[in-house]
Amino acid sequence: MPTVAVLDKQAGRSYGQASANILKLGESLGVLLTGTPSVSLYTVPAGRRVVCSYATVVCITATGVTGVATARVEIAGTEVFSSQPLLGLDAVDKVWRWPLTVGASKSGGAAQTITFTVDSPATATTQTADVRLYGYLV
């Protein structure tokens, strides 16, 4: 995997190496949004660390959705992407995305598991989604 130096152009300093490729790290398919599941997305391999870049939630079934779920992504109990209402995720093929953010974030160490958790269920007859996590290993 190619790497690039992380460079602070203003100070002219290099901060080591980071992956140039953001990869799909893991996924959980058919997650029930009308319940409160906590599902595993990825376990960090031995000898590596993970930096999470973003996560997506794609609605794959939706019947009678009148209220959206609230969910989060976390590593070992610490939020990577904070609990948010999945606004607009009320019909098939709609997508919610936790974006890249500026500032400090949590990275995960070897053997830590990254999970997606529904904190508050959707108000719906049925609603399921495919959840995917993207990032890179260092």
CATH number of 21-137: 2.60.120
Note the pLDDT of residue 104. Answer: 60
pTM over 0.75? The answer is yes
| DSSP strands (E only) in the chain | 3-8, 13-19, 23-32, 38-43, 50-63, 70-75, 78-85, 95-98, 113-120, 126-137
Rounded Cα distance between 92 and 127, Å, is 9
Confidence of residue 77 (pLDDT cuts 50, 70, 90): confident
Does the pLDDT at position 133 exceed 90? yes
Does the pLDDT at position 2 exceed 50? no
Does the pLDDT at position 6 exceed 70? no
Q: Domain coordinates of the chain in residue numbers?
A: 21-137
Angstrom distances, CA of residue 85 to CA of 6, 13, 24, 35, 71? 33, 39, 23, 14, 7
